[in-house]
């Protein structure tokens, strides 16, 4: 089954390019540890999901590119075309002349309705190219105006027009110390709208990815390109093919469907985060070896101590003893707090993958009480290694780890809202104080629900 990607705004398009590039590169990476037949099956599966084909044989990304100003899309299209390895469809993009001005209201109320028909047509054309549609993957930021506002509008539209297909929104959370001054307002409006219309929100925080670049990849002058490539690597390790089940050697058909089933058991809880191990510069990789035991031990501790990377993990954090009543409301400021999960999905790729022992992830203490670990925890595997990593593990989790960042965003937005600063910019385009209040209410509810796990 295929996934149609929609890239929105500068962020969405810059990242989208890196994602397709990472998927393609991995797919064509020479493999030492699996058979030729295995590799071919993997490549075929990846292709079905993400690329279609044209007469000249160059794979075409199953993507629709949307932006309200032309510079980024032009760059993205030409970068892909120049690589000679894959490209975007000639007529798969829509761009306008004037951006959304970082204004969610403008993206949502003006650009959205204005370009609804054209965008939905582009999406429809892409959907028709698929034999079978798994769903949509929408890449956007929530700080700006197009990705955030137009993204929210579009997701609602997709929910109406493709009610049987799944939608996963890949949302980029901006740096805490601003990129955009009104980013917190835009974030509130985006998240609250998406919570109602999307099936899952896969979150990446710029701050976290930046640290990975600095500490793990040892990049000195970190650019957005570096950040986007790390992000793309993480997404690739989640979305590339894996076997459909224990003991099977066929690749699973419906990755989005399976992800939702495994990770989003309840519509109140749909915020997902990704962790990936190991992540390092190519130079270091050549000199490193890993064991599954080591990788999984780190990954588990990253989960429970809420670390976003394998350096600086707090090993003091332990799960609460089983059998004891769950502690009341999670104190957000507590140092050693333990990160409770609703559901976890571990994805293992590489050599001897079947020998990996995942017992520690099945510990009921990791999970909230209303789900059994057998439901809450899932594993996907493939012997086929990812990129140049002989062994790699990804963890997609639905847990409390996004509560603190979300709480901070809501806090800052609320503070600004109380002073009424910038509101005139939104009311100008039909987003009133009430709409903000609705957004705040919904997100406070989400924070409370997650905190009380």
Residue closer to other proteins by CB (options 130, 222) is 222
Query: Across the strands, what pairs with 95?
Result: 67
**Residue whose CB is less far from other proteins, 293 or 408:** 408
Backbone angle region of 357, left / alpha / beta, with phi > 0 → left and psi within -120 to 50 → alpha: beta
Mark 109-148 with x for binding to other proteins (rule: CB under 8 A) and - for no binding.
Answer: ------------------------------------x---
Task: Tell me the closest approach of the beta carbon of residue 181 to other proteins, in angstroms.
Answer: 4
Q: How far is the CB of 103 from other proteins (least distance, A)?
A: 5
Distance from first CA to last CA of the chain, Å, rounded?
A: 34
- Answer left, alpha or beta for residue 284, where phi above 0 means left and psi between -120 and 50 means alpha: alpha
In the numeric block, the tokens 């099956």 are attached to 41
Could you give the CA distance from residue 344 to residue 263 in angstroms, rounded to a whole number?
Answer: 6
Alpha-carbon distance of 23 to 29, in angstroms, equals: 10
* Residue from 152, 217, 220 nearest 186 by CA: 152
Q: How far apart are CA 49 and CA 132, in angstroms?
A: 10
Q: What is the full DSSP assignment across 198-250?
A: -SEEEEEEHHHHHHIIIIIS--SS--HHHHHHHHHHHHHHHHS--BSSTT--S
3 state SS of 361: helix
What is the smallest separation between the CB atom of 98 and other proteins, expressed in angstroms?
5
| Near other proteins by CB under 8 A: residue from 64, 200, 216, 227 | 227
Please identify, using beta-carbon distances, which residue of 178 and 312 lies nearer to other proteins: 178
The least distance separating other proteins from the CB of residue 425, rounded to whole angstroms, comes to 5
**Angstrom distance (rounded) from CA 148 to CA 186:** 7
Q: Which stretch binds other proteins (CB under 8 A): 67-75, 122-130, 286-294, 368-376?
A: 67-75
DSSP helix, strand, coil percent of the chain (3-state; round to 5): 45, 20, 35
Interacting residues with other proteins between 432 and 451 (CB under 8 A): 437, 440-441, 444-445, 448-449
Q: Which is nearer to other proteins, 113 or 245 (CB)?
A: 113
Q: Which is nearer to other proteins, 32 or 220 (CB)?
A: 220
**350 makes contact with other proteins (CB under 8 A):** no
Q: How far is the CB of 123 from other proteins (least distance, A)?
A: 25
Mask: binding to other proteins, 7-26, rule CB under 8 A, as x and -?
---x---x------------
Q: How far is CA 16 from CA 58, 77, 352, 353, 361, in A?
A: 18, 11, 32, 29, 31
Nearer to other proteins, 332 or 371 (CB): 332
- Minimum distance, C-beta of residue 7 to other proteins, in the bound complex (Å): 15
Q: What does the alpha-carbon distance between residue 288 and residue 172 come to, in Å, rounded to a whole number?
A: 31
Q: Residue from 29, 33, 58, 69 that binds other proteins (CB under 8 A)?
A: 69
* C-alpha closest to that of 210 among 309, 350, 119: 309
Among residue numbers 77 through 116, which ones bind other proteins (CB under 8 A)?
97-99, 101-103
Binding residue for other proteins, selected from 164, 221, 283, 333, defined by CB under 8 A: 221
Which parts of 182-201 interact with other proteins (CB under 8 A)? 182
Instruction: Work out which of 118, 121, 124, 223 binds other proteins, going by CB under 8 A.
Output: 223
Asked if omega into 61 is within 30° of 0 (cis), the reply is no
Stretch 400-419 residues interacting with other proteins (CB under 8 A): 410-412, 414-416, 418-419
Closest CB to other proteins among 27 and 340? 340
CA distance 372 to 362: 9
In this complex, which beta carbon is closest to other proteins, that of residue 375 or of residue 449?
449
Residue nearer to other proteins on the CB measure, 70 or 319: 70
> Dihedrals φ, ψ of 271, to 5°?
-95, 120
Residues 262-291 touching other proteins, rule: CB under 8 A, are: none
Number of residues that bind other proteins (CB under 8 A): 54
Cα–Cα distances (Å) from 208 to 174, 176, 214, 370, in that order, read 10, 10, 10, 30
Please select the residue that binds other proteins; options are 79, 94, 125, 175, rule is CB under 8 A: 175
Name the β-bridge partners of 389. Answer: 386
Residues of the shown chain interacting with other proteins in the complex, contacts defined by CB under 8 A: 10, 14, 69-72, 75, 97-99, 101-103, 145, 175-182, 210, 213-214, 219-225, 227, 410-412, 414-416, 418-422, 424-425, 437, 440-441, 444-445, 448-449, 452
């Amino acid at each position: 089954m295929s996934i149609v990607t929609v890239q929105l705004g500068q962020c969405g398009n810059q990242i989208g390019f890196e994602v397709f590039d990472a998927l393609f590169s991995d797919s064509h990476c020479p493999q030492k540890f699996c058979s030729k037949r295995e590799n071919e099956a993997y490549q075929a599966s990846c292709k079905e999901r993400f690329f279609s084909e044209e007469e000249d044989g160059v794979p075409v990304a199953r993507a629709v590119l949307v932006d309200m100003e032309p510079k980024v899309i032009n760059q993205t299209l030409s970068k892909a075309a120049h690589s000679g390895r894959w490209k975007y469809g000639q007529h798969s993009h829509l761009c306008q002349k004037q951006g959304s001005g970082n204004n969610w209201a403008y993206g949502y109320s003006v650009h959205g309705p204005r370009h609804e028909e054209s965008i939905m047509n582009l999406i429809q054309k892409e959907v028709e190219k698929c034999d079978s549609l798994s769903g949509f993957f929408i890449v956007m930021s929530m700080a700006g105006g197009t990705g955030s506002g137009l993204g929210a509008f579009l997701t609602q539209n997709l929910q109406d027009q493709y009610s049987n297909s799944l939608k996963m929104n890949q949302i980029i959370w901006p740096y805490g110390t601003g990129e955009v001054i009104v980013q917190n307002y835009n974030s509130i409006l985006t998240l609250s709208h998406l919570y109602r219309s999307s099936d899952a929100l896969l979150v990446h925080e710029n701050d976290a990815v930046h640290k990975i670049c600095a500490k793990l990849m040892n990049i000195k002058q970190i650019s957005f390109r570096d950040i986007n490539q790390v992000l793309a690597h993480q997404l690739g390790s989640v979305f590339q093919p894996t076997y459909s089940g224990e003991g099977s050697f066929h690749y699973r058909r419906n990755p989005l469907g399976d992800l939702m089933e495994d990770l989003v058991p309840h519509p109140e809880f749909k915020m997902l985060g990704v962790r990936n191990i190991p992540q390092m510069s190519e130079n270091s990789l050549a000199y490193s070896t890993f064991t599954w035991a080591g990788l999984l031990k780190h990954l588990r501790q990253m989960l429970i101590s809420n670390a976003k990377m394998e350096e600086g993990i707090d090993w003091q954090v332990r799960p609460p003893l089983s059998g004891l009543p769950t502690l009341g409301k999670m104190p957000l400021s507590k140092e050693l707090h333990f990160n409770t999960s609703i559901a976890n999905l571990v994805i293992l790729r590489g050599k001897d993958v079947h020998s990996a022992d995942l017992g520690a992830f099945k510990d009921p203490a990791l999970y909230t009480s209303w789900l059994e670990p057998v439901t809450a925890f899932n594993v996907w595997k493939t012997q086929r290694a990812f990129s140049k990593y002989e062994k790699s593990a990804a963890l997609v989790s639905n847990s409390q780890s996004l509560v603190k960042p979300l709480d901070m965003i809501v806090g800052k937005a609320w503070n600004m809202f109380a002073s009424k600063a910038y509101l005139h910019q939104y009311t100008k385009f039909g987003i009133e104080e009430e709409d903000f209040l609705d957004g705040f209410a919904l997100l406070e509810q989400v924070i409370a629900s997650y905190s009380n796990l």
